[in-house]
Chain A
Amino acid sequence: MSDTHAQSVGYVQRSQIPPSPPPATEAGAVRWVRENLFSSTANAIMTLLGLLAIYHLAVWALPWILNGVWNADSLSECREILDGARGACFAVIAERWNQLLFGFKYPSTEYWRPTLAFVLLLVSASPVLFSKLPRQLLVLTALYPFVGFWLIWGGSIWVPVFALLGIVAGYYAFKQLERQSFAMGLIGAVVAAALFWWVTGFVIPDLSRIIPISLPEVPSRDMGGFMLNLILGTVCISLSLPIGIVLALGRRSQMPLIKWICVIFIEFIRGVPLITLLFVANVVLAYFLPPGSNFDLILRVIIMITMFASAYIAEVIRGGLAALPKGQYEAADSLGLDYPQAMRLIILPQALKISIPGIVNVAVGLFKDTTLVSVISMFDMVGMIRGPILASTDWNGVYWELFIFAALLFFIVCYNISQYSQWLERQLDTGHKR
């Protein structure tokens, strides 16, 4: 009996054998490299070529960056310090960073204001961007345009305060009249706000004398640098979104007049290059306006860029509207919702969700297009580089360092916008996968 057992005992495993490690070639980094970089002869050759290219690039660029001179007063001094060695002259950025960021005329004692405005922009934009934050924070967002305006342009605090109160007055008028109809509410709101501003227009100068709370005023002409790009980008994108929605809805309207106005506007703007519109803003408008009148140049440019962007955004949103199944429109109708309600509650939330990638695409493109204002002699980031800095006798001849710096700033902003939009798409991806 024991014999039978004695024979089988050798074959019975009483405890589990610990898993043996995979062969060295099939584990960890080695496996990753084998699978991803050297999986076939062709891949191996490509990998080696790639490494070679990276090596050459590093050999070429790294000494240039590491040898960089950060402390010099002019290009010739940079060259003296380098003494024949290859190296970048980052001293130009060290000396002119404030001009690159704020333009050359923004008073240096006031730099904290646009900086604070930028930080506040991030804070007050977050409740809009991240829906998980408490909704009460939207108050900050609503207040921001006025705070931001006051911080950047300065002047008496009563101007933005009364502008805000005018909007509040318009909102209450809208609430009163909304029950009659949406359109009536809208008209009432506009009238109430305009009336409020007209009346308070007489009060502001006196009030500013009695209770003088003000920051030193900075005229638009003194704005410049990356600040100008950010102002133009932020303002124009946030304005063009609502206008774009209205245009998109207008283009799909069944009322011929509204439809044709929207079609003509969109097609005209899309058919004209942005640079042409900017020239119109800068040059042609000056002929039509009475001599001596000084219609703010930044405002003119903002209007033109906004028109341009809203035409594009309108087309993107129209694509979203067209992509919705007809059943959604019919469902809204069958629930007895009127047009504004149907749009606000059912159609637009879905259509805008579909449109996010397109809208972000327009926004990123628009933000980069703001550098075009350098052609109409505004000193944005690129304008500062091409104009004053490269023309100064100290820094004439420094190209790479400055443009790399500009590219870096633009990349940071644009990359973050696109990362956000991808995150948002994942968040909103509640529909069924097809």
Chain B
Amino acid sequence: MKKSVFLGALTVAGLAAGAAAAATLDDVKARGTLNCGVSTGLAGFSAPNANGEWEGFDVAVCRAVATAVLGDPNAVEFVPTTGKTRFTALASGEIDMLARNTTWTLSRDADLKFTFIGVNYYDGQGFITPKALGVSSAKELDGATVCIQTGTTTELNLADFFRVNNISYEPVPIETNAEAQQQYLAGACDVYTTDASGLAATRATFETPTDHVILPEIISKEPLGPLVRHGDSEWGDVVRWSLNAMIAAEELGVTSANVEEMSSSTTDNPEINRLLGTEGNLGEMLGLEADWAKNIIMQVGNYGEVFEANIGESTPIGLARGLNAQWTDGGLLYAPPFR
């Protein structure tokens, strides 16, 4: 009897602690910084530069959320996480959100009890091959030797792809990306396959990147997005709409250069007005200032600007927009209306 009372009290205390911890937005505001989990280092997505400042495409999402909540893109405490520590860091409350090129899957959503708030990068498995081979499509790879990281989903995707297309291949199993680069450059395999963004980053490190071509076929779905814990939907909304604001801004033609001018007076487009807070009270609904989205666009940039600055075609990574173009340009980016 006594024991059950004690356990009951413990449960209540635990629930109370959970409820107290649930108001992440208030916690972040009180703390004055956002704790954001990022990768310990992934070219173009998150890495500290020579001055120790974090830069990258995932880092920009963290900065956008910090700007929306606190008005300062530098009010972020970046918590580096590895593939092994990322989920526990989020579940234990060490970080408020995770932006670490994490693939959105059902089990991570439901079983690990996280909420993916959207997709900031649509990735997928691709192929890289020397230009000298004269291959222009993955379907021409019949009989090729393929370097592949063992024990990953890429291995299974590859087998599926070749079976569906009824062509044969010879796998060369390798352990890490670094090893794969060496093997591929040494000519141990005709093709190397992994996530397309990884291929682009790998190609950027080659001595003559232009001698290698990334084939157009993408054979798997890897939607990468930021995520938060279950149980605090208000906070999830803030993160979700911070990302959506960046996407919508690009669609509406709002850039860091013209946002000041556009927000100084009401424009002809009511959606831009609502986004920038000159009309309506969308910020208030989220528990943020009226100019939250304007701050994001001014201090971090819209989706397109961030993409171009970190992983776009002008950078060494050199990724094309592809699936990550606006829906109006034939991509998958589609921010729900700001209304």
Residues of A within 8 A of B201 (CB): 393, 396
Is A386 in the interface zone, CB < 8 Å from B?
Answer: yes
Contact with B along A276-289 (1 / 0, CB 8 A): 00010011101100
Instruction: Name the residue on B nearest A375 (C-beta).
Output: B82
Most buried by A among B42, B92, B178, B204: B92
Q: State which of B27, B46, B94, B206 has its C-beta within 8 Å of the C-beta of A286.
A: B94
Contact with A along B25-59 (1 / 0, CB 8 A): 00100000000000111111011111010000000
A96 vs B84: C-alpha distance when bound (angstroms): 27
Residues of A within 8 A of B93 (CB): 286, 291-292
Residues of A within 8 A of B82 (CB): 375-377
A38 to chain B, nearest CB (A): 39
Chain A residues 63-115 with CB under 8 Å of chain B are 75-76, 79, 95-96, 99, 104-105
Contact with B along A245-283 (1 / 0, CB 8 A): 000000000000000000000000000000000010011
Is A397 in the interface zone, CB < 8 Å from B?
Answer: yes
A4 vs B79: C-alpha distance when bound (angstroms): 109
Contact with A along B312-323 (1 / 0, CB 8 A): 000111000000
Cβ of B52 and Cβ of A104 under 8 Å apart?
A: yes
A153 vs B49: C-alpha distance when bound (angstroms): 23
Cβ of A283 and Cβ of B41 under 8 Å apart?
A: no
Is B181 in the interface zone, CB < 8 Å from A?
Answer: yes
Known contacts A283-B88, A376-B85, A387-B41, A393 near B207 by CB under 8 Å? no
Known contacts A290-B17, A392-B49, A397-B181, A387 near B85 by CB under 8 Å? no
A309 vs B18: C-alpha distance when bound (angstroms): 37
Cβ of B49 and Cβ of A292 under 8 Å apart?
A: no
Cβ of A393 and Cβ of B41 under 8 Å apart?
A: no
Chain B residues 74-94 with CB under 8 Å of chain A are 77, 79-82, 84-85, 88-89, 91-94
Instruction: Name the residue on B nearest A287 (C-beta).
Output: B92
Residues of A within 8 A of B39 (CB): 391
Is A399 in the interface zone, CB < 8 Å from B?
Answer: yes
Residues of A within 8 A of B80 (CB): 377, 379, 387
Cβ of A396 and Cβ of B204 under 8 Å apart?
A: yes
Is B205 in the interface zone, CB < 8 Å from A?
Answer: yes
Is A388 in the interface zone, CB < 8 Å from B?
Answer: yes
Instruction: Name the residue on A nearest B77 (C-beta).
Output: A221
Q: State which of B21, B85, B94, B205 has its C-beta within 8 Å of the C-beta of A396.
A: B205
Cβ of B85 and Cβ of A377 under 8 Å apart?
A: yes
B66 to chain A, nearest CB (A): 17
Instruction: Name the residue on B nearest A389 (C-beta).
Output: B41
Cβ of B52 and Cβ of A75 under 8 Å apart?
A: no
Residues of A within 8 A of B89 (CB): 283, 286
Contact with A along B299-338 (1 / 0, CB 8 A): 0000000000000000111000000000000000000000
Residues of A within 8 A of B17 (CB): 290-291
Q: What band does the interface of chain A fall in when counting residues whose beta carbon is under 8 Å from B?
A: 35 or more
Is A383 in the interface zone, CB < 8 Å from B?
Answer: yes
Is A164 in the interface zone, CB < 8 Å from B?
Answer: no
Instruction: Name the residue on B nearest A391 (C-beta).
Output: B41
A103 to chain B, nearest CB (A): 8
A389 vs B77: C-alpha distance when bound (angstroms): 19
Cβ of B41 and Cβ of A388 under 8 Å apart?
A: yes
Residues of A within 8 A of B205 (CB): 75, 396-397
Cβ of B43 and Cβ of A377 under 8 Å apart?
A: no
B176 to chain A, nearest CB (A): 10
Chain B residues 290-304 with CB under 8 Å of chain A are none
Residues of B within 8 A of A392 (CB): 41, 43, 47-50
Is A390 in the interface zone, CB < 8 Å from B?
Answer: yes
Contact with B along A382-416 (1 / 0, CB 8 A): 01001111111110110100000000000000000
Residues of B within 8 A of A75 (CB): 205
Cβ of A393 and Cβ of B204 under 8 Å apart?
A: yes
Contact with B along A351-387 (1 / 0, CB 8 A): 0000000000000000000000001110100010011
A104 vs B53: C-alpha distance when bound (angstroms): 8
Cβ of A96 and Cβ of B21 under 8 Å apart?
A: no
Residues of B within 8 A of A279 (CB): 84-85
Instruction: Name the residue on B nearest A74 (C-beta).
Output: B316
Cβ of A377 and Cβ of B40 under 8 Å apart?
A: yes
Instruction: Name the residue on A nearest B205 (C-beta).
Output: A397
Cβ of B41 and Cβ of A386 under 8 Å apart?
A: yes
Residues of A within 8 A of B50 (CB): 95-96, 99, 392, 394
A393 vs B88: C-alpha distance when bound (angstroms): 28
B62 to chain A, nearest CB (A): 16
A283 vs B41: C-alpha distance when bound (angstroms): 20
A129 vs B317: C-alpha distance when bound (angstroms): 52
Cβ of B85 and Cβ of A393 under 8 Å apart?
A: no
A409 vs B251: C-alpha distance when bound (angstroms): 52
B309 to chain A, nearest CB (A): 11
Residues of B within 8 A of A96 (CB): 50
Q: State which of B40, B77, B178, B316 has its C-beta within 8 Å of the C-beta of A387.
A: B40
Cβ of A393 and Cβ of B94 under 8 Å apart?
A: no
A63 to chain B, nearest CB (A): 17
A90 vs B92: C-alpha distance when bound (angstroms): 41
Residues of A within 8 A of B92 (CB): 283, 286-287, 291
Known contacts A292-B93, A375-B82, A399-B178, A391 near B52 by CB under 8 Å? no
- 8 smallest A-B Cβ distances: which pairs? A391-B41, A397-B205, A387-B41, A387-B40, A286-B92, A391-B47, A104-B52, A291-B93
A-B contact pairs, 17 of them (CB 8 A): A79-B207, A95-B50, A99-B48, A104-B48, A104-B52, A279-B84, A284-B88, A292-B21, A376-B84, A377-B81, A377-B85, A379-B40, A388-B41, A392-B48, A396-B205, A397-B181, A397-B206
* 18 extra A-B contacts, CB within 8 A, seeds A377-B80, A377-B81, A399-B178: A286-B88, A286-B94, A290-B17, A292-B21, A292-B27, A377-B40, A379-B40, A379-B80, A386-B40, A388-B41, A389-B41, A391-B39, A391-B40, A391-B47, A393-B43, A393-B315, A396-B204, A396-B205
